[in-house]
Amino acid sequence: MKFKNKASGHKKAYRHRFTLLLLSVLISVVGTQMTDFALGVWLYESTKSAMLFSLLSFATIAPMTLCSPLIGILVDRFNHRNLMIAGHLGAGIGSLLMAGLYYYGLLQPWCLILLSAISSCFLGVLFPSFTASLIHLVPQEQLTRAQGLLNGADGLIRISAPPLAGILYAQLGLVVILAVDLISFTIAIALLCLITLERRSQEDSSLAVTTSVIDNSRLAWRYLINKPGLLPLFGLMAVFNYCFGTTITSMTPLVLTLKDSQTLGFILSCAGLGSLFGSLFILRYATTQRAVPWFLRFTLLCAGAIFLSSFQNYVPLLMLLSSLIGFGFAVSITCYQSLLVRKIHPDIQGRVLGLRGVIVGGFFPLGNLVAGSIVDYFEPMMQPGGALAGTVGLMIGTGPGRGAGLLIGLAGLLLTVSTLVAMFNPSIKLLEARLPNYGFTNEQKKDY
């Protein structure tokens, strides 16, 4: 009886820490989502430049990607909770500076892009630290559902944050949204101060952190190439990130040429609704043995919905397709994340994920960056009488926003072809059978 009570106490303690850790991440995501939406709308309305909008999107992603190898070393060396506190604190200071500059009328596009880039470096610490901590808090057979819970809550936030940000921005202005962002970071730090996170893993001296960033990156690369299936999986995710970054950036000018920021917010919230249902689907039906086939099938669903989004500017159809994109994205990214947590040794997980951030994550800001210039190039060609009006225009239509629609269609086509190729790659199909699982099981939890 005493043993059972002790095991029950351990179980409650881990659930308590996981809940507080999850809440800290989600609360900060609320403020960040609202702020990113409002800053993008403010910049586009102020400049009418898709290129500057894409530069802002690039600045919010690229710095954390470039810093990924260093962040991976920090994650493998230091306490995850303390790293998350530092990340929230740095990003909060960035929001405070933006609010002050905007209040006094000094916020310029270049200044906004620079501060967003600095905040991005701090925010880049949060999710690697959270992901690396899961292996110490959640049994390996429940990791997919834990990721699904995170993505489901994130989907709920994406439903509410864009329309709420659109309403607040229209009624009260940017400074109120920046204030909400500051409050969210403060609450997140307070929640993290209530918990402790221990690092418990099977120590492997061959995977120990060295003093050199280059040596750590080489060690992570050698580990990666010796695990069959991981590199091709990263390749597909690189294409996924590029196409998704292109689509997200192109969707804003596509919608704002026809409607207002509130319509854009509702379309993005439909993607969040789809993401929520996708995560609920994972929570109900996920098993660790289905991660790879589910990842491939739902990536294909996401690709098809992106491709179809290029054909019309009809808002209800865009809302439906956004929901399908969100659903497919939620299931595929959850399976992908749970695979990495289970199949990469905990002692080197931060560095491998950091290297992944450069190999894979860099394609998302690349898609953000090139989308603006390509949309500006395609747009006049897709107007009535333009160079593509008599060919592509006959299929997807001509007029305002059709340049962005063409780029979204090309992104969906690229992702569809890449996913079909991956489905016939044996190293990806056999990844789960070839690589061992790490972490602890439900039976071993009492010893953790």
Angle at 245 between CA 243 and CA 249, to 5 degrees: 120
3-state secondary structure 178-195: HHHHHHHHHHHHHHHCCC
pLDDT digits (tens, 9 = 90+) for 102-119: 888 787 888 888 888 888
Q: The tokens of 348 are what?
A: 């080197």
What is the percentage of the chain residues whose pLDDT exceeds 70?
86
Rounded mean pLDDT of 128-151?
74
Identify the CATH number of the domain defined by range 8-197+212-438.
1.20.1250.20
Which residue has tokens 């307070």? 190
Most confident option among 4-8, 129-133, 327-331: 327-331
Strands (E), 190-348: none
Amino acid at 376: D
Q: Which residues of 359-378 are buried (b: 16+ CB within 10 A; e: fewer)?
A: bbbbbbbbbbbbbbebbbeb
Q: The tokens of 84 are what?
A: 């998350």
Looking at residue 212, what is its pLDDT?
Answer: 66
Looking at residue 208, what is its pLDDT?
Answer: 55
Rounded mean pLDDT of 212-223?
78
Confidence of residue 6 (pLDDT cuts 50, 70, 90): very low
Closest by Cα among 369, 404, 368 to 383: 404
Give yes or no for a contact between 87 and 139, defined as CB atoms under 8 angstroms apart.
no
pLDDT value at 286 more than 60: yes
What is the distance between the alpha carbons of residues 83 and 75, in angstroms, rounded to a whole number? 8
Amino acid at 425: N
pLDDT value at 411 more than 80: yes
Q: The tokens of 234 are what?
A: 């990263």
Give yes or no for a contact between 364 and 244, defined as CB atoms under 8 angstroms apart.
yes
pLDDT value at 5 more than 50: no
Sign of the CA dihedral 143, 147, 148, 152?
A: positive
Closest by Cα among 126, 172, 157, 189 to 31: 157
Q: The tokens of 68 are what?
A: 């990924």
Confidence of residue 207 (pLDDT cuts 50, 70, 90): low
Query: How many CB atoms neighbour CB 311 within 10 A?
Result: 15
Sign of the CA dihedral 85, 88, 89, 90?
A: positive
Q: What kind and span of H or E run contains 441? A: none
